[in-house]
Amino acid sequence: MSEVEALKSGLVADIESADSLDAVEALRVGALGKQGVVTALLKTLGGMSPDERLEKGPPIQSLREAVTDAIATRKAALETAALDARLASERVDMTLPAAEAPQGSIHPVSQVMDELAEIFADLGFTVATGPEIEDDWHNFTALNIPETHPARAMHDTFYFPDKDAEGRSMLLRTHTSPVQIREMLKHKPPIRLVAPGRVYRSDSDATHTPMFHQIEGLVIDRDIHLGHLKWTLETFLKAFFERDDVTIRLRPSFFPFTEPSMEFDASYSLVNGQRVMGGTDGWMELGGSGMVHPNVIRNCGLDPAEWQGFAFGIGVDRLAMLKYGMNDLRAFFDGDLRWLKHYGFSALDVPTLSGGVGA
């Protein structure tokens, strides 16, 4: 066995028997470092003749490769063993109290959405959804809103610069009423639905934000009248605020998509200077309502002489403010963890009519 072969066997054996990463590193420096034995042999190649280099060069290069491969293999094995030992020693104590872990919460708007869905499901309504980017036909024209109506103005509506393939203007929906149009075009009466969701208008102050949440209700059937509308609204508000002394009144108003049109107010009482829904101290406006305009029914392919209906709309954010004591709508969308911790709900606060929709 040549000197180089003997050196290779000795170095590889030492490396394979190294019991720590520090030992492997020491052997690497001793063999391949600036003053290492393998490095010294490589330096001798420069002073050899071409014939000598041809004869002695390959064994020296083979020595360097064997030592390098042995070091890499041993280092990887030791690192794997160290990781396995660490994983075997570390354990997660699943008996730690849950309060020690970071906790999230259900946003008040999400909670109120669930409460509304629970109440209206009990009244026989289904929940319908639609796109938030709408065309002006579904958002305005089909709802009997003419092109000259102020609701179409740029200062109220967020329009997109480009039109759709049919040349219609595109916009962020200003109400969830387009969902009613889509459902009336898709399904035959009778129809009982609520359409909750995000809507957009160019407005911002303590009680208005550019994006907010609405829920609208629609009933289409034969022989529908205002008595059905008033009963539905009053039943809903009593269930939502969990008070039997909530009453409503209807005031004449104007909406292009209903005729007659009414705004509805709910009664409230003053408790320590705060308005609490229910009682007889005053009236608070909550939303708009009315009988569906015959033109809207006709635009959806139905005969208004056969089918009648009522619709109503109310702000979900405002319902949350009234029920859970918030006074600034803008805080709903700030993402402040302190606010969410204070007003948020537990994941187990699931609203049920039997247990009470309020958490």
Q: Which long-range contacts (CB under 8 A, 24 or more apart) does 201-209 make?
A: 201/156, 201/157, 201/158, 201/174, 202/154, 202/155, 202/156, 202/157, 202/158, 203/156, 204/330, 206/327, 206/328, 206/329, 206/330, 207/318, 207/329, 208/329, 209/317, 209/329, 209/330, 209/332, 209/333
E-strand stretches of the chain: 126-127, 133-135, 159-163, 169-172, 191-200, 211-221, 248-255, 258-271, 274-277, 282-292, 308-315
Radius of gyration of the chain (CA): 38
Enter the pTM of the model: 0.66
Domain limits, the chain: 3-88, 108-343
Fold adopted by 108-343: BirA Bifunctional Protein; domain 2 (3.30.930)
- Tens-of-pLDDT digits for all 359 residues of the chain? 578 788 788 888 888 888 888 888 888 888 888 888 888 888 887 788 888 778 777 888 887 888 888 889 989 998 999 888 888 888 777 776 666 556 778 888 888 898 999 999 999 999 999 999 999 899 999 999 888 887 777 668 888 988 888 888 899 999 999 999 999 999 999 999 999 999 998 876 666 678 889 999 999 999 999 999 999 999 999 999 888 889 999 999 998 899 999 999 999 888 887 788 888 888 988 899 999 999 999 999 999 999 999 999 998 988 888 888 887 777 888 878 888 888 888 777 777 665 556 54
